A and B are shown apart, each in its own frame.
Chain A
């Protein structure tokens, strides 16, 4: 046990070191061009938020549905929700200096733009800050509640405790969906304040859950390779996780394509520019890359039973997808910025993702190490096993 702990602590130390170095470098670059650094930081922030928040959603979902897949990753999800206060700290730059990112935060721009004036009751710095604080307050509170009730249930898995857990998880999931939608509107969609899409929140939620699934499959597969805990992980659980991953890869393609098809077909001047930016100026290459490696290749690989039952192979697919999640986020966010030096921008993006990722991973691992590494007691209604006499 302590051997795993030692290995985890080593990784944690390395992650924190990489994160701090990258963060310092980002700050230094920020002295020269604060706006550039902010843009890249947003990317890192959103990338890590996806995992922290996706964990919250998956935790609620597992409380409601049960299932072997959840037991394999429950500790990972719980640890990831413990990082939400860190993510709130990550949000500070956005709160302190929204002008660095958002057009609508500049009064002189708003004064010249009737549409932004119309949106001003919602898109203004004060309300923006309040909303972000409220979102995090809700999420942190919800996560703490879920964790404490989850541990109560695990200590005493009675019907009443299970029901109580489900009673908060149901509304929790609804609140999660609604808050994350508006958070994605605020942080992401309002980068191009004229553009709007009712699907944006759904796309963001699906992407977040996908990031979380990839990340937790990676951690679970790592744990499944370590002795004493390895016996708590079964191929069946990875099979289910693989199916879930497959479902979300398909869902990601589905919501993305639906939005594209609707906007492409209607071809309205207030909507089409968003795609014109993202399917031109070199971004079409990234789009094609995403289509191939964020959808087609993982989809085909995950169809096979063999991929899903061997956790090492599944982890391989998940790690590629996790990298592609950042590429997807880049494609979603970065074309909104007018970058004069794209190469420098890319370097800063990588730096920011390393900074946010390293620091976040450090926090995550410290949370993970503070408790047991696996869960045994199944919360929620017992999951259905195939009743056929196999």
Chain B
């Protein structure tokens, strides 16, 4: 991306909160100060946190496309193989026995849609990602227990280490950490 000199000294600033209301409050406060690049870490999915952070979910569209692709592939495969590639008379049924083809078409739709859902979710989330700077932070493992974290990223154009620390500190977090790269 940039020359190493441009790189900010830290990945971001992380604040730990005891509840989701404090977290949402801190998100709002940071947004008031012009911060846009941030991430919240919670032990469970919380709709109001996502809303506070702001996020558009494109996954359903991906799954729909996957499903349509699966249906097309499923029926086209059966049609081509039974009518063109290997026409076989079975009990006088037509080569294009569409009632019989519905089942596998359906199964392929589900199969493709399900894989699109999972792979799409992982891809959009940037997973698998074995290394991430927040893992350096002592106590971050509580994010999978009962703590709520807010990370202001240094990538944000308005980011300033001291300002960011001040902003988060004003919300009285349980702890504050600078996250190295």
Contacts and interface: CB of A to CB of B under 8 A. Distances in A.
A261 B99 contact: yes
B100 interface: yes
A260 interface: yes
B47 A388 contact: yes
A388 B43 CA distance: 12
Shortest Cβ-Cβ A-B pairs, 9 listed:
A390-B47, A264-B99, A261-B99, A389-B46, A260-B99, A388-B45, A257-B102, A265-B100, A390-B48
Contacts of A264: 99
21 contacts: A257-B99, A257-B102, A260-B99, A261-B99, A261-B100, A261-B102, A261-B103, A264-B99, A265-B99, A265-B100, A267-B91, A267-B93, A388-B44, A388-B45, A388-B46, A388-B47, A389-B20, A389-B46, A389-B48, A390-B47, A390-B48
Interface string A359-390: 00000000000000000000000000000111
Interface string B15-48: 0000010000000000000000000000011111
A83 B102 CA distance: 41
Contacts of A265: 99-100
Contacts of A261: 99-100, 102-103
**Contact-size category for A:** under 10
Interface string B73-98: 00000000000000000010100000
Interface of B: 20, 44-48, 91, 93, 99-100, 102-103
Interface string A259-289: 0110011010000000000000000000000
Interface centre among A260, A267, A388, A389 (most CB of B within 10 A): A389
Interface string A182-201: 00000000000000000000
A264 B44 CA distance: 50
A265 B47 CA distance: 49
A253 to B, nearest CB: 10
Contacts of B99: 257, 260-261, 264-265
Nearest to A265: B100
A236 to B, nearest CB: 15
Contacts of B100: 261, 265
A257 B102 CA distance: 10
Contacts of A257: 99, 102
Contacts of B91: 267
